[in-house]
Structure 1
């Protein structure tokens, strides 16, 4: 009698649920906190960029829902960023609002290509001093621009005009009802934010920026202050599909696409590095995150909305509020959409001076003055890169300033990497010169100076065996100098390193 034994069935592997039930409550609560942080900033960034407020909200919705669903980062939240207001205002002023969608769409496609090409990881190699200088420069430009809405004046288009208009702004802010009201509301907003930050942590789960906006707007309404208020209409009517396709042949417009793509990518991936240090969950996959950011910007471009980046303010609020999965950032986008569809009129009570104060505070945070002071004390060369980059951004524009800072950082690193030491040992009948470090073309003037100062009529021994790297320029210079000495009947001995560059 035979018995039939069934082979054990392989265990069925069930993938973990994308959004576990046990984390739903934490993600729901975090999404509401992020929504409350994002709402005034979406509107404020749009107004500061010189475009309709609805376009900022559309970008916030896309950043929450579209980017939130894509792989890349878990805790990072995307939306319109204060750091891009300078770029957007410049692009709209130069090419018109109709071209904004084309620029943002093109930037998104470039980001996707960079992510697919696995370039995302390379952004981690950019000097932190350049990044800090870039953010500080953006902060300075942001502050310089937003002081005008506080005083009730339109923001000048160019930096020199902003500096030149400060005396008139001060007079208007201190002598006219509109200026005094705007200044009062801005100060009130900043004071409320500051005081709210000192309250117990449980209370601070409600964002201080939201409380400040509510308080200042209520004061403006009750006191009937003569201040300008934002205007928010229908999102559907605000959608502005790209039409200026003829501009694709314009080198300036193509340059704007590249600038948007590079700056947005850098800001998003640097934000990712910072957010990853705040939590113990899955870390950011840089190339996938770059593709996700590109997809989000492509959708924003098709809708004619603002460009997006990952935003450190919203991302940190998401982590601190206890988010566990991507669901929190997706839900925050849903809350933005529902609020503007159901209660759009509420936003029309917010004075522009209040939003300007929020952006001034954001610009101040970007300056990170404490870190700059610490750099000046400990690493003066790094501090120089920060200050130069920020200054060039204020004096020229974001792209030129960043490129100048990057170039100086590369040159500084090259000089530091090519440290070169020389030691002389003089005897009655000979001179021994020992070289160390890296002998590159950057140190060629110093090398030649030491060789040309050696006395005639003595045997010279050049010991370069301790040189780690001897490039072709320095090698040829040494050989040429030795040949000249030998033609003068001087004895020269050269000991080269085992390998030369």
Structure 2
């Protein structure tokens, strides 16, 4: 029997247009420095970040899936992009992003989007924490006017020299002062009555104004047409294929995790995960064709969109239009922004990804989950994003298997020469050492009854081990369960 639930009438266009226009301006002001900052931190021309932001607004913004979520270049992908460009060259980036986008479209069509919701939260937090830590380490160098080293090991090893440069050179002292000023103004602005204006924008404007007379490295932004390049299919190889898969999985996970968070911020339509995955794939396909940065849905811009009162997807489309107009009409304005200001904004973004408070809270409630988080984050820092994430997923699976392998082995003595062993729960290879240790500790020459009737699952490893143990002893009686999985 079907039931009919009356759906609320869609808001009238007249009541949503101006709120969406206002929200789009707020999102634009938040997105502009982040688009440029993510590109610079990724080691690619700043214009490529803006291209991705424009595509995120004008292309993905028009597609169904999520209403309030805003897409663009993400701080969480800077480490992956930088490593990929170092390994394969900037010319291969477009091909990799194109392949990742097509993979995302395929995953969405195959309805795999919902499965990203099943990934262990500890792995997700560990992935974000690892990315955040690497991002923070890298962005410390622009404060002192230095280029960040290529590897995490070099970033860590270079910290003593960086500190010396920061406190003994005019560029270092000026950069640190401007970076700290950016963070202080951004943080304090949230406490003012004018907090509807993005604090990140206010911090960037104030710090850039103060830095006008200081000798600091600054952003250089040219024409978008100078950086857009065609895809070179001849660069395809096994390494590029692996990078495509990594980009697709990481970008999809970040977008859909963001969707889950954004859905909790508003009362509008919920995200359709598979449809949103297709939309993200289309966006990355377009970015790949243009040779731009990869995109994801981003929580900072999305939350700004919701907080600013957006009603429909028009706000995110318009924010892409404002980005395009700005870079076409006023690109010279960005030349006044020091790299230290962008570094400060990205340090703030990296700290939010790291989220030490969440890590400590998880450690207090579930040490095993916290161990998975630390393992994932640590391996990302020590190796790379893909290795750390896959290791975290494997650790989460093993932990889950251990948790469900609840096995109780109880030995009861009846008289002088009879022992009764009751086995209950799930007998898997993970619990095999514990089971065999109990059985082998029973004295020889005694009758033993092993009651397996309470076993819900008996895997092959445990079954064979019990049979072999029984065959080597005299007087063993096995009571097998009637049926096991």
- Name the TM-score, length of structure 2 as normaliser: 0.96
Deviation at 1:476, TM superposition (A): 2.2
Aligned-partner Cα distance in 2 for 1:420–1:109: 45
Asked which structure has the greater CA Rg, the reply is: 1
* Aligned match for 1:459, one of 421, 438, 447: 447
Q: For residues 444 and 103 of structure 2, what CA distance do their matches in structure 1 show?
A: 62
Residue 205 of structure 1: SS of its match in structure 2? coil
Q: How does 1:67-146 map to 2 (within 5 A)?
A: 67-146=60-139
- Aligned mates of 1:16, 1:308 — CA distance in 2: 33
* Residue 496 of structure 1 pairs with residue 483 of structure 2: no
Query: Pick from 453, 456, 459: which aligns with 1:471?
Result: 459
Superposition deviation, residue 131 in structure 1: 0.6
Q: 1:52 matched to which residue of 2?
A: 45
Correspondent of 2:162 among 158, 169, 172: 169
Q: Are 1:214 and 2:202 counterparts?
A: no
Q: 1:334 aligns with which of 317, 321, 334?
A: 321
Q: Which secondary structure state, in structure 2, belongs to the residue aligned with residue 466 of structure 1?
A: strand
Please give the alpha-carbon distance, in whole angstroms, between the structure 2 residues aligned to 1:356 and 1:458: 73
Matches within 5 A, 1:209-248: 209-221=200-212, 224-243=213-232, 245-248=233-236
Structure 1 gaps of 5+ residues are 1-14
Aligned to 2:435: 447
Equivalent of residue 178 in structure 1, options 147, 171, 176:
171
CA contact (8 A) 1:19 1:325 kept: no
Secondary structure at the aligned position of 2:483 is classed as coil
RMSD over equivalenced CA pairs, Å: 1.4
Contact in 2 for aligned 1:111/1:294 (Cα 8 Å) = yes
Shift of the alpha carbon at 1:500?
2.2
Does 2:301 align with 1:314?
A: yes
Structure 2 contact 455–484 (Cα < 8 Å) conserved: no
Q: 1:355 aligns with which of 338, 342, 349?
A: 342
Equivalent-residue separation in structure 2 for 1:432 and 1:199 (angstroms) = 73
Which residue of the partner structure matches residue 377 of structure 1? Answer: 364
CA distance in 2, matches of 1:467, 1:33: 60
Equivalent residues in 2 for 1:365-404, closer than 5 Å: 365-404=352-391
Residues 76, 272 of structure 1: 8 Å contact kept = yes
Report the counterpart of residue 288 of structure 1 in structure 2: 275
Inter-CA distance 206–177: structure 2 relative to 1 (3 Å threshold): same
Confirm whether residue 32 of structure 1 aligns to residue 25 of structure 2.
yes
Structure 2 equivalent of residue 159 of structure 1: 152
Aligned-partner Cα distance in 2 for 1:143–1:386: 18
In the alignment, what sits opposite 2:5? Answer: none
Match of 2:396 in 1: 409
Partner of residue 8, structure 1: none
Does the 8 A contact of 1:19 with 1:327 survive in 2? no
- CA distance, structure 1, for counterparts of residue 321 and residue 209 of structure 2: 26
Alpha-carbon distance in 2 for matches of 1:159, 1:474? 44
Q: What is the rounded CA distance, in whole Å, between the counterparts of 1:494 and 1:465 in structure 2?
A: 10
- State the alpha-carbon separation in 2 of the partners of residues 329 and 477 from structure 1: 61
> How much has 1:18 moved relative to structure 2?
9.1
- Counterpart CA distance in 1 for 2:344 and 2:146 is 14
**Residues in 1 aligned to 2:339 and 2:133: alpha-carbon distance in whole angstroms:** 19
| Alpha-carbon contact 1:472-1:500 (below 8 Å) kept | no
Aligned residues: 477
2 CA distance for matches of 1:75 and 1:295? 18
What is the CA distance between 1:340 and its match in structure 2? Answer: 1.3
SS of the residue aligned with 2:423? strand
Distance 1:175 1:241 in 2: 45
The whole-number CA distance in structure 2 between the counterparts of 1:95 and 1:457 is 68
Are the counterparts in 1 of residues 117 and 256 from structure 2 also a CA contact under 8 Å?
Answer: yes
**What SS does the aligned partner of 2:59 have?**
helix
